[in-house]
Structure 1
Amino acid sequence: MAEVDLHIHTTASDGTLTPAQVVQLAKKRRLKAIAITDHDTVDGVKEALEEGQRVSLEVIPGVEISANARTGSVHLLGYFVETERGILKEKLERLKQARAERNPRIVDKLNYLGVNLTYEEVVAASGGGQVGRPHFAQVLLDKGYVRSLDEAFHRYLAQGAPAYVDKFRFDVRDAIDVVLKAKGIPVLAHPFTLNCMPEELETLVADLAKEGLKGIETFYPDHTSEQTVQYQRLADKLGLVKTGGSDFHGKLLEKAELGIVGNGICLPYKIAEELMRTKHEMIQHS
């Protein structure tokens, strides 16, 4: 039985469930602990913490920050971040602005491609949260331009597709520094997305560990069993904590199921305990 899920999105970014609804679903599925890790925002954390306290479910405040490394785009998870610390909110506001600048350009590209879509429709699909590409995908699906969300990304929205628009990201070392200054634990998210050879990935992660990286997301739905073993060994070799999560978005990511991290794997509570142990060690050495 699943006990923890440390990678979850809500309506504060591009999920379809509110923070409170996510907590309620996690409680229904008998999870013991979850982390709220919305894209480039901590706006959903307070509601999740309050609901977690109400239903007796442990909620870890977190964030997933968009960044760049020498290998390309990378996501950095931050756990136990102090959400009201000035530098974190300041940096996340810059990323929020970058998303806001990108979205109208995606609309323009889609319109040029013959797609009859307005930005107002995409905002409505977001439910008032931060607008992201999954919301564009949902509108494309609702209007019949595609048959699935995956097709929307493949045909229009993924990197290299005709309506893709890049956005500003922090250097990953700066993102690590921001998480550390917010008293959080920086963890490399879904390393398979870096498309690195094992040797190149090890060099990158070793360099980032010197900058303060504390963990690797070793358990993830899109990781193969071989990759999971590879990332676990790398974490052990470099003395990094191992985390995992479903990357749950609600219906906007069809293959992600709350509490399941791939191939039916469910994470035990000890994964959260290791993360807490890392947090305590950081406090002791601060």
Structure 2
Amino acid sequence: MAVIRADLHAHTTASDGMDSPAELVARAAARGLDAIAVTDHDTMDGVEEAKLQGERSGVIVIAGVELSTARGGKDIHVLGYGPDRSDPLWLERLSAQGKVRERRNELLLRRLGQLGIDLTLGQVLDAAALGGGGVPASLGRPHFAAALVKAGAVSTVREAFELYLAEGAPAYVEIPRITPEEGIRWIVEAGGTAVLAHPGLYHDDAEVERLASAGGLAGIEAFHSDHTPEEELKYARLAERHGLLATGGSDYHGSRGGEIRHGDLGSRTVDARALMERMKG
């Protein structure tokens, strides 16, 4: 089988991306990708539209998700490829993830109010809808950042994160989440393949080693737009040492206010054959 050039980490308007699922796949085709994984935060609502566009564009669409988990107040994301979208327990678990996100958003609005910024949920939803896909299934901090820019509270999305929304910033809300091990188990129990997302962003290689050796993971996202070349080599070797796949993706979200968060589509690609074989197994 020929090489399948794929970007295995991309977001759509189903969560905090700016491209609709169909637009994402069309863009992937225009950039010469053979495959694209749709990995929205805590939702798979964009997958069906993406697959239909994939059939039209001749692009393989891998159904995915990026689960929000945490340990010790630190966010850790787990990518899931190919979980059964008709599995009732999986759907129930995704719904529970959505409820946690809704509660976080309520507390975030309250925290901003305490800081003297009177932002409403309606303003956040309006900013989210500017992506062109209507109200997303999964509302996240980038939507709050866009609303803060639109309200004139900050000048850029980057400034919104630096001043208010990033981990450790005044408006950041720490809320109980499932552990990475639970997220991995959920994906595997739904028939999916679990990969640890962007390990370099956690600044905790001991945690990465623990998860890599604990069982359940099929891979490590070694190649990511926010990793340095040295980090990519380090995590590729870590994956090899533990018998795991070294996967990669851009973490594409599109352009918001002229800023591209993480990387542009196709800026990180890998041969998807090994992952697809693992998904079949």
Could you tell me the TM-score, scaled by structure 2's length? 0.90
Match of 1:188 among 179, 182, 196: 196
Mapped to 1, the partners of 2:66 and 2:104 lie a distance apart of 18
**1:279 match: secondary structure:** helix
Aligned residues: 269
The verdict on how the C-alpha distance between 1:37 and 1:229 changes in structure 2, with shifts beyond 3 A counting, is: same
Q: CA-to-partner distance for each residue in 1:201-233, whole Å, 9 max, x for gaps?
A: 3234212xx2x1110001001111111111011
Note if contact 1:71-1:194 (Cα within 8 Å) is conserved in structure 2.
no
Task: Report if the CA contact (8 A) 1:3-1:259 is conserved.
Answer: no
Structure 1: gaps spanning 5 or more residues: 262-266
Which consecutive segments of 4 or more residues in structure 1 shift more than 3 A? Answer: 69-72
Output aligned runs, 1:221-232, within 5 Å: 221-232=225-236
Provide the C-alpha distance between the structure 2 equivalents of 1:200 and 1:6, rounded to a whole number of angstroms.
Answer: 23
Q: Tell me the SS of whatever aligns to 1:170.
A: coil
Q: Does 1:109 align with 2:111?
A: yes
CA distance in 2, matches of 1:74, 1:206: 16
Cα RMSD of the aligned pairs, angstroms, is: 1.7
Name the SS of the counterpart of 2:70 in structure 1: strand
Query: Quick one: which amino acid aligns to residue 192 of structure 2?
Result: G
1:276 aligns with 2:260: no
Deviations 1:27-73 (A, max 9, x none): 11111100000000111111111111122111000000011246932
Q: 1:258 aligns with which of 242, 259, 265?
A: 265
Once the two structures are superposed, the pairs formed by residues 59-138 of structure 1 within 5 Å of their partners are: 59-69=61-71, 72-127=74-129, 128-129=135-136, 130-138=138-146
1:215 aligns with 219
Distance change (3 Å), C-alpha of 1:71 and 1:228: farther
In structure 1, C-alpha distance between the alignment counterparts of 2:207 and 2:114, rounded to whole Å:
39
Using the size of structure 1 for normalisation, the TM-score is 0.89
Structure 2 gap ranges (5+): 130-134
Equivalence for 1:201: 208
The answer on whether the counterparts of 2:6 and 2:33 sit within 8 Å (CA) in structure 1 is yes
Identity %, equivalent residues: 42
